[in-house]
């Protein structure tokens, strides 16, 4: 690219990339919450069989479920609408998070958390497919780079926000219920603005474009 060349993105592209970034970051509210709430889980008196080994088993099994889900849900995303997959994964994840927050035994928690990670595995592939439909080869790399930072921001924000909630005296169940509620709000917002692809001729550089990159 020449030094004097600028890249402009349309309003639709900016809205889509923003929604995808916030949306995927939101997934981490219902993923990092287990790590944040682990000390409270270990101290809880209303749980059966929860100790460090049990939490380790839950986390390990969930990673395996996530890996399997990447393959399975990748195929699903190729067949179905990526927008539908992205949003449905959010809804199923928040549902699993609520169920985890209501659980009382380690066996049930393991199954629920594996299910949560399995459905969450659909999010990234769906996000990339939507991103690819909105950005051509000349712009996709930069858009994907921005999108890839979503999980970093999401993890940090989840730990900070949920940590503050714990500091305020909310119990471990409240941490999971709060995570689910916030992801629900994000899912609604994402559903309102996300589209699988732009309408014909919609991705045109117009007067409302935002400048991305330098100019001479």
pLDDT digit string, tens, across residues 147-172: 999 999 999 999 999 999 999 999 99
CA atoms within 13 A on the CB side of 203: 16
**Please, what is the average pLDDT of the chain?**
89
**What is the topology classification, in CATH, of domain 9-196?**
Growth Hormone; Chain: A; (1.20.1250)
- 104 within 8 A of 48, measured Cβ to Cβ: yes
Give pLDDT, residue 201.
53
**Per-residue b or e along 22-32, where b marks 16 or more CB atoms closer than 10 Å to that residue's CB:** ebbbbbbbbbb
Partners of residue 212 on adjacent β-strands: 7
pTM: 0.86
Residue 16: closest CA among 179, 128, 155? 128
**pLDDT tens-digit readout, 26-69:** 999 999 999 999 999 999 988 888 999 999 999 999 999 999 99
> Would you kindly state where each structural domain of the chain is located, as residue ranges?
9-196
Centre a 10 Å sphere on the Cβ of residue 34 and count the other Cβ atoms it contains: 23
């Amino acid at each position: 690219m020449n030094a004097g060349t600028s890249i402009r993105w349309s309003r639709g592209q900016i809205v889509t990339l923003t929604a995808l970034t916030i949306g995927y970051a939101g997934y981490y509210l219902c993923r990092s919450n287990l790590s944040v709430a682990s000390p409270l889980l270990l101290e809880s008196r209303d749980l059966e069989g929860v100790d460090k080994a049990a939490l380790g088993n839950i986390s390990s099994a969930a990673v395996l479920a996530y890996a399997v889900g990447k393959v399975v849900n990748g195929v699903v995303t190729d067949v179905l609408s990526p927008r539908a997959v992205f949003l449905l994964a959010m809804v199923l994840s928040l549902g699993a998070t609520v169920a985890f927050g209501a659980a009382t035994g380690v066996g049930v928690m393991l199954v629920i958390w594996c299910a949560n990670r399995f459905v969450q595995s659909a999010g990234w592939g769906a996000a990339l497919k939507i991103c690819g439909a909105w950005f051509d080869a000349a712009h996709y790399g930069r858009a994907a780079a921005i999108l890839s930072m979503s999980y970093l921001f999401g993890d940090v924000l989840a730990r900070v926000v949920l940590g503050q909630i714990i500091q305020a005296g909310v119990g471990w169940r409240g941490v999971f219920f709060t995570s689910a509620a916030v992801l629900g709000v994000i899912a609604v917002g994402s559903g309102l603005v996300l589209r699988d692809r732009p309408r014909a001729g919609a991705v045109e550089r117009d007067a409302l474009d935002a400048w991305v990159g330098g100019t001479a």
